[in-house]
Amino acid sequence: MAGDVAAVLVPAQKQADSPDATLARTIVETAQPLNAAVLVENSVSLARTLSADGVHITTGPREVAHARRLLGEEGIVGALCEKGRHEAMLLGEAGIDYLAVDQRREAAGENLLSWWAEMFVIPVVAFAPAAPDQVADLVRLGADFIRPQEDMWRSAEAAQDCISALMQAIREAAS
């Protein structure tokens, strides 16, 4: 592995009875032995079926609370926040393990990522795909995790190059 990958997200279209369900199972079987958590988007039942580590909820606090009840404290429940500070706080109260935000969005004139990082201990993910030249700003704003660019999925070499470049940028930003 080229760097520290904390989690892999199985998107909604790779789920249930789709032809891509086999791909989702392969992702779980490949990522978990490498110590990367596998999260399934919006489906606790599929997460359980695949023995994934948890879920990534994009549909709001009510669904987060439901996922938390079903998975208990041992399952990871993360959430995407798209509506600003109030929604972020509701997600936190519902029991998230991390908050994912589009680091380009502003909430009341303030970057939601930096506001969350300053106010809460729950980790925050810079969820819009980020290039290495954006990492220093994201680290400065308080991002605990950074989503790589989508072009990493072109090939194994592209993934290695992308993760290596991000890891180098993180090391430089942290020093």
CATH code of 48's domain: 3.20.20.70
Mean pLDDT of 138-162: 91
Phi–psi pair at 54, nearest 5 degrees: 170, -160
pLDDT at res. 74? 94
What secondary structure letter does DSSP report for 14?
Answer: G
Share of the chain above pLDDT 90, in %: 66
Q: How far is CA 162 from CA 8, 35, 149, 154, 158, in A?
A: 15, 19, 7, 10, 6
2 lies in some domain = no
Q: Is residue 39 part of a domain?
A: yes
1 within a domain of the structure (yes/no): no
The total of structural domains in the chain comes to: 1
In a domain, 14, yes or no: yes
DSSP string, 114-127: HHHHHH-SS-EEEE
Look at residue 135 and tell me if it is in a domain.
yes
pLDDT value of residue 1 = 42
In a domain, 19, yes or no: yes
- Comparison of pLDDT for 153 and 144, the residue scoring more: 144
pLDDT band at 63 (very low <50, low <70, confident <90, very high): very high
What is the residue-averaged pLDDT of the chain?
Answer: 89
What range defines the domain where residue 111 resides? 7-174
Rounded Cα distance, 167 and 175, in Å = 12
Query: Which residues are within 8 A (CB) of 28 and not within 5 positions of it... i.e. 6 or more apart?
Result: 10, 38, 50, 51, 52
- DSSP three-state, residue 145: strand
Phi-psi label, residue 109: left if phi above 0, alpha if psi -120 to 50, beta otherwise = left
Burial class, 37, CB count within 10 angstroms (exposed 0-12 / middle 13-18 / buried 19+): middle
